[in-house]
Amino acid sequence: MYFFGSLGTLMFLMGGGTTVWIIAEKLWKQSHALPLRAVTDQPLFYLAILAVILGVQLFLGRIFGRADQQRVFRAEQIPDRQNFVNDDTTNPNALFADHCGAYGRDALFGAGVVCG
């Protein structure tokens, strides 16, 4: 994961630096009345833009991969739902709140559970 984040950052910086260099070179040549080529006629410009795009994608892949890894790690720390004890003493029906939508209002009404 750190490999992709580092590679993405490196590609983004190199591609961005190359793009800035090409544009600055064009502006310098233009200000000194030297012969110049259009930026879009240079293949290096497209490779630099490609490096920027790939760098952003790799970096975001690292960010989202890290977030997913943390989500899975936290899910492993949650106790088993079957053995879950409801600590909410103010609302005794909070434990059945998920089941009201799944089974319907009438299915649990007979058990003394109030949905809603």
Please state, in angstroms and rounded to a whole number, the distance separating the CA atoms of residues 8 and 96: 46
Please state, in angstroms and rounded to a whole number, the distance separating the CA atoms of residues 39 and 23: 7
User: How confident is the model at residue 57, as a pLDDT?
Assistant: 93
User: How confident is the model at residue 89, as a pLDDT?
Assistant: 52
| Residue 95 clears pLDDT 60, i.e. is over it | no
- Tell me, what amino acid is at 52? V
* Digit-coded pLDDT (tens) for 96-114: 555 555 554 455 445 555 5
| Residue 85 clears pLDDT 60, i.e. is over it | no
Global pTM value: 0.57
Length of the chain, in residues: 116
* Digit-coded pLDDT (tens) for 5-63: 899 999 999 999 999 999 999 999 999 999 999 999 999 999 999 999 999 999 988 88
User: How confident is the model at residue 79, as a pLDDT?
Assistant: 56
Q: Which pLDDT band, with edges at 50, 70 and 90, does 70 fall under?
A: low
Alpha helices (H) along 1-116: 2-31, 43-77, 97-103, 105-109
What's the Cα-to-Cα distance from 18 to each of 11, 26, 28, 35, 107, rounded to whole Å?
A: 10, 12, 15, 20, 66
